[in-house]
Amino acid sequence: MTILVAGATGTVGRHVVDQLLQRGQKVRALTRNPQLANLPHGVEVVAGDLSDPNTLVSALVGISGMHLITTGAEYAPLQTGPEIVELAEKAGVRRVTVLWNGEKGPFEKAVESSSLEWTQL
């Protein structure tokens, strides 16, 4: 089981990566700039940007679960949730955790109405 962590180099994402590794999970870290990721040994680092779902296609191959954030650059709410959820479902992702602030935008609504098992953080 490989878990994709979006925002893996951020404050929360880095903690998610560390906790997953401590539990023996395989982690694939999604970041806009893999060269600057500085993540622990054993983490597979891949380039991608949640604001451009086309960059996620190869990152989702072989993923069973993922941790997502609902904001992009400058902490602007992402509008690409429906596309990301559709890609995840097509790739066979089964479960997702989502870090959101309580307001339901397109991203949150897409997760809630999807076939994915999800947990709001």
Locate the domains of the chain by residue range: 2-120
- For residue 10, give the DSSP letter: S
Cβ count within 10 A of residue 58: 12
Per-residue CA distances from 98 to 7, 35, 83 (Å) = 11, 25, 15
Helix (H, G, I), strand (E, B) or coil at 106: helix
For residue 8, the one-letter residue type is A
Residue 77 has what pLDDT? 81
Superfamily of domain 2-120: NAD(P)-binding Rossmann-like Domain (3.40.50.720)
Residue 63 has what pLDDT? 97
15-49 confidence digits (pLDDT tens):
999 999 999 999 999 999 999 999 999 999 999 99
Q: Is the model's pLDDT at 1 over the cut of 90?
A: no
pTM of model > 0.85: yes
Q: Is the model's pLDDT at 5 over the cut of 80?
A: yes
63-107 confidence digits (pLDDT tens):
999 999 887 777 778 889 999 999 999 999 999 999 877 778 888
Residue 102 has what pLDDT? 74
